[in-house]
Amino acid sequence: SLLLKFLEGMHLLDSARRLTRDGVKLRSSSFSISGLLRSDSTAAAPPGVEEAEILTPAHAAALRAEVGCIARVFRVFRAGVLLMDEVDLLLHPLRSELHWPLGAKLPLDFTQAKMGPGLRWKLPLWLMAAVTAAWDGRLTVDVGDSCVGTAVMAQLAEAVRDGAAACRIQAEPHPVLLDPAFYYERIRGPLAQWALLWLQEHGGAVEVPRELLLEYVTLGARGADKEVVTRVTGALPDDSVKALNLLHDWLATLLPHCLAKVDRVTFGLLSDAEIQEQLADTPMMPRTRRLQAVPFVGKDCPSRTNEFSHPDVAIGLSILAFRYEGLRASDVAALLKHLQGLMRRQSGPYRQRPACQLFRKWVEAAGVHVKGVLGASDDGEAGARGGMERSRSRGLLEPKDEELPWGAPAPAPLVRQARLPDHLIDEGVWPLELVSLADPEHMTCLHALLQRLPEAVEYYLDTLVFPVTLEFQPLQLTASGHDLGGDVLFGRRLGFSGTPSDLLPLELGRCQYEVGSDGKMLRLLTDPKVAALAALPAGWSAGSILRWVAAADPPFHALIDTGALVTGFTNRQAAEMLLDCGLGERGFEGVVFLTDDGEQLVLKAAGRLVISLRESGLSDPSKRFTFYDQVHTTGIDVRQAPGARAALTLGKDMTWRDYTQGAWRMRGLGVGQCVQVLVTPELVKLVHDSLPPGAVPQDADGAGEAGGAREAAEQGGAGQEGRETGAGQRLLEGRCGLRSVAAWLVLAGLVSEAMQFGLLCEHRARHVWRQHAFRGLLVSHDQAFGSSAPVAMCRLGPLMGVGTGLAAWQVGESGYVGEEDTGKQLGECIDIFRERVHHVVENAVPAARKLVDRLTAAMAESQAMIETEAQHATVSRILKEAAQAEQLAPRLSLASGAGGPSSAQAEANDAAAAASDASIAMEQEQEQEQEQEQEQEQEQEQEQEQEMEQTVMDNLEEPAKLKWSRDAEDFTPWPLEALQEGPEGGELGFYPLSEFSLPAGMLAALMAGGAGAGSGTAEPLAFPGFLLVSRNFFRKQWSLRGGARRLKNVVAMMDWTPAPDENSLATLAASTAGREALAAVRGDAALSADQGSKLREAFDLYCLGGAETGSAFDVQPLMSCDDFDKSDA
């Protein structure tokens, strides 16, 4: 995380140097050493510097000191070892990539145009209004007088109903697009016509026939006929062409991408409570995180600092998040405050002011009347109130019409969902001029009425959210998994994962898979004795799943929600519902659930008290139930009973990795423990369509297994309602169904990894020239900005692979580099890490660029940083792999599509292949926190080092065939009282760890498989004398025998501290180990040369001015360390 901070510090120093060199006079900005500088300067920067900043000499010195401290930390990292758990997730090419924006914020392109303001977000608002209205019937525009609009809405409503019936659209927790082919076949066409209504309303493209516009918008500038493209682009002005290209982007990629996401699982709004919690930690939280949708790392778990990098994705997901979740209480308060501000600036009677009329329209649309307003006539007679108002309010509870203009049933008024008291419905709400924002009861009522009103939501987004959030910064620094997986920061790196992957940086070499692990997981999860499938009924919901699990017989002991189907409930609410549905009556004493921080709590059935699992007293795992929410289906262990049975959910975005990670929360799977997989009807359809015709295997024992699966499903209460007939039903039967699900999950993982591999190629290629630039930055810092450049360079350079042959740079009184050549080199190095950002809407035919073309262009731009033959060979290898991946992409897209070779499916595959790069861009996230830190691209090994590492890895792939000795493995027990004696005598049988060594036969076998021959004797390691090892772990005589022996896991460690009486101290001092232990406890042991050197390095690290300057030791950073014992200060 320090690397990006170092890069940004160098960026600021270089920008200030250029401004000072060119004589630009800027207003100085404030600087805090706890964070990086960001200025709001008022003068323009010279060419090549997008961020105009200047530092005073004091600020520059403070920034140099902070960057210098980071450089000294690099020395500590370089000599250390990095251990990475869940390495496949940590180095995931897509999920690990973050962007750190730099520079002043600029308005987003197409937010101001001749056609009108805000077109960048008004278009998606128009499209989303039609999509959501096709589902819930609440349209924000009146189409009663438009034949085209009515016909389009009728087509959309029919398509959505058919999609839900055919399991192409998932209804829970909201409409979710499952099949892109269905979107292109049934939804995109009507939406294109709907989009042209918006274009005509804004006065664009009226000179071109409608048929040509439909073809251009639907197929795009690259897919439509060339003559059509020429006529459209030649007859329309730039703004109209931009609008058409933006429409095509939304219809082709952006809209299906957004509709396929699940709210509160992959994206969502921060609740008011979450905003307050994060503001307490980071008071500088950006406004965009408070007002727009943010990425979620799992169900109900928003990212702590990240935002969506693609502005159009942020627009689309924000619209959907507000439609699905509704306005928050703070949003309604801001909306009413805005309306009251407009009202005060308007003239005339209150009831005739536009703001008051808009408020009244919203309230009546929700199903409640405004006090003192009787109707359209509004005669103002006070005596006509009372019963007439109550009757009017009751009349608003019923829809004005039984059907909508396009034939769909009219939705019920929102007041029915608000669950307001009858007296509030009868009395109505106060008019806008009398609304008090400080009245909690009235604000609660208005929030319940307006939070899900589409008109209010759309007005809030159009007026108060998007105009103030749609800005971008022209520069960014990028970090990815290469920052940890490369070898710039850490000389040695080890990664572990139960579900490994080969999508790793080149420096890590090939993944060393455990022999047989994948086969074991596949065998167990396709064994009907270990796993079974159960179909959920049509019309399922999160509540019905909880009820189904609680009523299952035989009972479940855990619910593992890997598919994130239990939405709309907090973990505690889910635990409460499980108890309410009968778990307590069935012998369970409590439900274990996890907090956001991973703390294991239990909700007791008796008294409904929430207490820590460790303190609950529920030691019998068979008497408790465990709920694993989606976020905690990886890396969390809760002990289960040996014969426990778990229910596991499947989701549309899952892969084989997610499936196995969730299933192995049951650590005894296959050894007494088993899982039952809950499959929704929509998932049955997806699995069936992913398999080619006739691919459903048949087993000789299929009938018996199918009967067992059906019986288990019926006992659990699932029934047959949601089962498909024919081939779809066979997917749920025995081993056949389990294999089909496994095949679908593996295929989903392949498609995901294919997309990730393209991004990984970009990371690997950029890493080649960035490593050279990073080395140049280290030289630049230590020679130009370091407090003691020659000394620092002698120490840091060799460790980081940097030479010291460059001439020393002179630093002027102002703190900036004074020599032109060295300053130019510094600018070239830091410019490699500056990525230009633009989110413009094309006003011409957009040019398509393949992955190999982009890599070749990037390599040409950075040719100065690619010098050695090894670097050129690495780039050539990456280009070759990228070309092979592009050739395989169409075949993989075809394999992952629906079973039938329909034209819509072919079009969906072509669109998916063409939009793969856009999909990557839409998934990327950025960080905007001023105080947060991210990593940056890291150094890559030379080609010779990679070949040597690969040779070692290849040798380790096949373990040596050894004959294992297992004699005399029984433990020798000893009583607890034996601890009163010395560890080297008596019954304990401890001996110094420095005498431990491998068996001679094992060493000889290992040496035979390596290079050279060995003597067969194992030299012990020089552990300190006070470290002892028990003979129950390893007996010394085993080292002298032949053969090999497996080492046991270390299960306990003890500190032996004798009582401080004279006799025991004299006994202890009689042995060498005892004397060393006493010296360590008393603190009078002399420091070795190595210990003294490390202590000196620690002193240098916390001395901000450097040890050579003689400045005072800064203890505040040391005191703030988490593992620092304050009592030792």
Pick from 25-34, 149-158, 843-852, 865-874 the range whose average pLDDT is largest.
149-158
d(CA 719, CA 728) in angstroms, rounded, equals 15
Angle, in degrees to the nearest 10, between helices 238-249 and 119-136: 40
Q: Which residues pair with 471 in a beta bridge?
A: 107
The region of weakest confidence among 176-180, 468-472, 995-999 is 995-999
Q: Which secondary structure element, helix H or strand E, spans residue 646, and what is its range?
A: strand 645-649
Q: Which secondary structure element, helix H or strand E, spans residue 804, and what is its range?
A: none
DSSP letters, 535-591, are EPPTT--HHHHHHHHHT-SSPPSEEE-TT----S--HHHHHHHHIIIIIGGGT--EE
Residue 401 burial (CB count, 10 A): 9
Q: What percent of the chain has pLDDT over 70?
A: 70
Q: What is the DSSP letter of 168?
A: S
Q: Model confidence over 55-65: pLDDT tens digits?
A: 678 888 888 88
Let me know: does 296 contact 417? Beta carbons within 8 Å. no
- Could you check whether the bond before residue 175 is cis, i.e. omega within 30 degrees of 0? no
Q: What percent of the chain has pLDDT over 90?
A: 35
Q: Model confidence over 1017-1053: pLDDT tens digits?
A: 467 788 887 788 887 778 877 776 656 777 766 666 6
Structure tokens at 97: 């990539």
Q: What is the DSSP letter of 209?
A: -
Does position 567 have pLDDT exceeding 80, yes or no?
Answer: yes
Q: Model confidence over 745-769: pLDDT tens digits?
A: 998 988 888 888 888 898 899 888 8
Does position 702 have pLDDT exceeding 50, yes or no?
Answer: no
Let me know: does 739 contact 713? Beta carbons within 8 Å. no
Q: Please, what is the Cα angle at 175 between 157 and 567, to 5 degrees?
A: 155
Does position 32 have pLDDT exceeding 50, yes or no?
Answer: no
Structure tokens at 543: 């509540």
What's residue 706's pLDDT? Answer: 36
Please state the rounded mean pLDDT for residues 621-627: 96
What's residue 313's pLDDT? Answer: 95
Q: Which secondary structure element, helix H or strand E, spans residue 926, and what is its range?
A: strand 925-927
Give the CA-trace dihedral at 121, 127, 132, 135, to 10 degrees: 180
Task: Count how many Cα atoms sit within 13 Å of the Cα of residue 929 in the half-sphere of its side chain.
Answer: 19
d(CA 671, CA 530) in angstroms, rounded, equals 9
The region of weakest confidence among 210-224, 456-470, 984-998 is 984-998
Structure tokens at 1009: 């498989």
Comparing 247 with 16, which gets the higher pLDDT? 247
3-state helix, strand, coil in the chain (%, to 5): 50, 10, 40
Task: Count how many Cα atoms sit within 13 Å of the Cα of residue 954 in the half-sphere of its side chain.
Answer: 6
pTM of the model: 0.75
Q: Model confidence over 504-528: pLDDT tens digits?
A: 888 888 888 888 888 999 999 999 9
What's residue 326's pLDDT? Answer: 96
d(CA 437, CA 454) in angstroms, rounded, equals 22
Please state the rounded mean pLDDT for residues 332-348: 96
Mean pLDDT of the chain: 77
Please state the rounded mean pLDDT for residues 213-225: 87
Comparing 400 with 109, which gets the higher pLDDT? 109
d(CA 549, CA 1117) in angstroms, rounded, equals 51
Structure tokens at 325: 């979740």
Q: Where are the alpha helices (DSSP H) in 419-516?
A: 422-427, 440-450, 454-460, 466-469, 482-485
In 1049-1089, the DSSP E strands lie at none
Let me know: does 32 contact 1072? Beta carbons within 8 Å. no
Instruction: Give the pLDDT band of residue 1074 (cuts 50, 70, 90).
Output: low
Let me know: does 924 contact 303? Beta carbons within 8 Å. no
Please state the rounded mean pLDDT for residues 448-470: 95
- Could you check whether the bond before residue 354 is cis, i.e. omega within 30 degrees of 0? no
Please state the rounded mean pLDDT for residues 391-397: 46
Instruction: Give the pLDDT band of residue 26 (cuts 50, 70, 90).
Output: very low
Q: Model confidence over 400-457: pLDDT tens digits?
A: 556 788 877 778 778 777 777 777 777 889 999 999 999 998 899 999 999 999 999 9
Instruction: Give the pLDDT band of residue 1116 (cuts 50, 70, 90).
Output: low
Which is nearest to 732 in space by CA: 535, 506, 927, 539? 535
Q: Model confidence over 792-851: pLDDT tens digits?
A: 333 333 434 443 333 333 333 333 334 455 567 777 888 888 888 888 888 776 666 788
Q: Which residues pair with 83 in a beta bridge?
A: 494
d(CA 730, CA 720) in angstroms, rounded, equals 13
Please state the rounded mean pLDDT for residues 28-50: 36
Q: Model confidence over 142-192: pLDDT tens digits?
A: 887 788 899 999 999 999 999 999 999 999 999 999 999 999 999 999 999
DSSP letters, 260-299, are TS-BTTTEEPPPHHHHHHHHHH-TT--HHHHHS-EEEEET
d(CA 85, CA 496) in angstroms, rounded, equals 5
What's residue 806's pLDDT? Answer: 32
Contacts of the segment 4-7: beta carbons below 8 A, 24+ positions apart: 4/100, 4/477, 4/479, 4/933, 4/934, 4/935, 4/936, 5/36, 5/66, 5/70, 5/933, 6/67, 6/70, 6/71, 6/74, 6/777, 6/936, 7/477, 7/777, 7/830, 7/833, 7/936
Counts for the chain of helices (H) and strands (E), in that order: 43, 26
d(CA 5, CA 34) in angstroms, rounded, equals 11
Give the Å distances, CA to CA, from 579 to 429, 582, 644, 648, 665: 39, 5, 18, 19, 22
d(CA 524, CA 529) in angstroms, rounded, equals 8
Please state the rounded mean pLDDT for residues 646-669: 95
Which is nearest to 319 in space by CA: 255, 404, 372? 255
Residue 144 burial (CB count, 10 A): 11
Comparing 1101 with 96, which gets the higher pLDDT? 96
What's residue 703's pLDDT? Answer: 39
Structure tokens at 821: 């050549």
The region of weakest confidence among 46-50, 664-668, 959-963, 1057-1061 is 46-50
Q: Which residues pair with 964 in a beta bridge?
A: 1044
d(CA 312, CA 950) in angstroms, rounded, equals 43
What's residue 46's pLDDT? Answer: 39
Q: Model confidence over 474-512: pLDDT tens digits?
A: 888 887 888 888 877 788 889 988 778 888 888 888 888
d(CA 400, CA 411) in angstroms, rounded, equals 10
Instruction: Give the pLDDT band of residue 770 (cuts 50, 70, 90).
Output: confident
What's residue 266's pLDDT? Answer: 94
What's residue 570's pLDDT? Answer: 94
